Amino acid sequence: MEIKSEISSLASRFLALNYSLEVDQIEIQNTKKDFKGDITIVLFPFYKEIKKDLISEFGKSFGENLVKSSDNISGFNIQGGFLNLDVEDSYYLKFIDSIKNNKNFGKVEQSDETYIVEFSSPNTNKPLHLGHIRNNLLGYSIAKILEANGKRVKKVQIINDRGIHICKSIISWKLYANGATPESENIKGDKFVGEYYIMFDKVHKEQMKILIDSGMDKDLASENTSIMKAAKEELSKWESNVKETREVWKMMNDWVYKGFEKTYNLLGVSFDKNYYESETYLLGKNIIEEGLQKNILYKRQDSSVWINLDNEGLDEKLLLRSDGTSVYMTQDLGTAVQRISDNSDARGMIYTVGNEQDYHFKVLFKILKRLGYQWADNLFHLSYGMVDLPSGKMKSREGTVVDADDLIYNLIDSVKLTTESLEKFQSTNDELDHDEYKKIALGALKYYILKVDPKKNILFNPDESIDLTGNTGPFIQYAYVRIQSILKKVNKVVSIDHDYKLSSKEKDVLILIHEYPSILINSYKDLSPAIIANYLYELVKSFNSFYQNHHILNSESKESSSIRISISIKTSSIIESACDLLGIDLPKKM
């Protein structure tokens, strides 16, 4: 039995027999570094149930009982409200011996449960930017974490390929491109189209100023510039299926898709299926019609369609404009229904979308539930914070966003420059190829983004991300390369002596290795790759300390070499496994 499960079982029995306490959950954690011990039971929750005159003896009696009841617990100490237990070395030695051939250590066998994970979901009027990078990395990692926990996963995106924002790019291109294409200008397709979106905003603001200076109200001026009117007319033509508009729309979207694909390949993410707003919004309109027939939705005098969610703690929500055109909610209703129709065995659906859409998803889930879709109870919004650079916030329309490709290529150049300036590199002249620099740069980017709790905002500092000494991707990658260089010299691993006396450094690494399955479970429960990333940092730090204090290959005895090589092999294996869940590739040399 796993040691924490054994302790929990013994502790529950002790509390029931001696204090008549029936406890649902006992808080058990690894002992903090400042205290002696390996595993800690938190005693505070029990104090309120125990008579005050018995509290002073409670911890001592608890500890003595656990030592007496388990062959795996050798001693204990009490610090305040914490019972710190010493675990026998033999437990960890038997443990590392038992997993030495387990290539899937920590992972769960696949079940029949399927989860749909949505991420990326870009607009076809601009290239992917730094914010999209966080979205893609989070969504892809969550999909991998679900798989590690035994779930089947379908990775999907909804491509927002229609609407007024798309028509802005179309009109701008028609007015100012003179027939230019990405090929003629030698520009990546998504970036090319994005420049016309920026141009629209510039012209729109210039025309607004003229109208405002003539005495028109600002809001009225915003809707009545000639270029805005042209975009609205283009949207109406699109919804009326006018051939010329549809042909230009398809051509420009195809340019963007080719650009997106290059960025996805660069990031190392992929999808099992793409959904398109231009298709799902029609299904959304049908769903709204059904809602009207069931009197769940209602029409106002101007023919717009709404739902009242006042009794849900929300408010009234527009679902269809008075002119019959759809809103984001329309297509999201259609997309949700279509996805479940495509995956009837889906246990749940996770939307990876920024926290500015928190309200939107609360409303979406409530509407689906009101409309009678029982699976709406299994919808989750993975809400994440924004990403900015030290230079400030980004705005797509003003062209101040950081293009994802530019950021990655600049990071690759920075890694190359930094590496080639190192004394070690200059003395050996052991050149890395572009692929190795790319792995290091993307490892830096991915780790920096994913080590932060998804709910928190990120200030991405490219220079910090490639530091070899901090809590960074390159720090993890370098440790892996170092371990691989050691293991290349190993001819044969001899069996582990279960009576071996572990040093504190050896035991520290073993305790963290032992923790890996729990880390995977917790990252799934919290939908947080940050739990894996920060665990990985602690594991590597602990291994580095072990490495600096002990010889591995030329140790003092055959027994010590055997356990140290085993620790190195399993640490390397976990780094590979955890980095795979974070989407990080490991270089062969650094």
Report d(CA 116, CA 157) in Å as an integer.
10
Question: What residues in the chain have per-residue pLDDT under 50?
Answer: 394, 396-399
All structural domains of the chain: 3-87 (3.30.1360.70), 119-388 (3.40.50.620), 404-581 (1.10.730.10)
Token reading at 5: 């499960």
279 in the Ramachandran plot: left (φ > 0), alpha (ψ -120 to 50) or beta? alpha
Are 548 and 509 contacting, i.e. CB atoms less than 8 angstroms apart? no
> How does pLDDT run across 285-340, given as a tens digit for each residue?
999 999 999 999 999 999 999 999 999 889 999 999 998 888 889 999 999 999 99
CA dihedral 33, 36, 38, 42 (to 10 degrees): -90
How much is the pLDDT for 393? 52
For 137-258, list the strands marked E by DSSP.
152-159
SS3 at position 32: coil
Largest CA distance in the chain: 90
Q: Which two tokens stand for residue 296?
A: 């769940």
The count of other CB atoms within 10 Å of the CB of residue 39 is: 22
Distance of CA 397 to the CA centre of its chain: 26
Identify the DSSP state of 493. P
Residue 399 is predicted with a pLDDT of 47
Give the relative orientation of helices 358-370 and 328-342 as an angle to the nearest 10 degrees. Answer: 60
CB atoms under 10 Å from CB of 118, counted, come to 25
**Strand pairing report for 316-320 and 346-354:** unpaired
Which 3 state secondary structure label does DSSP give 268? coil
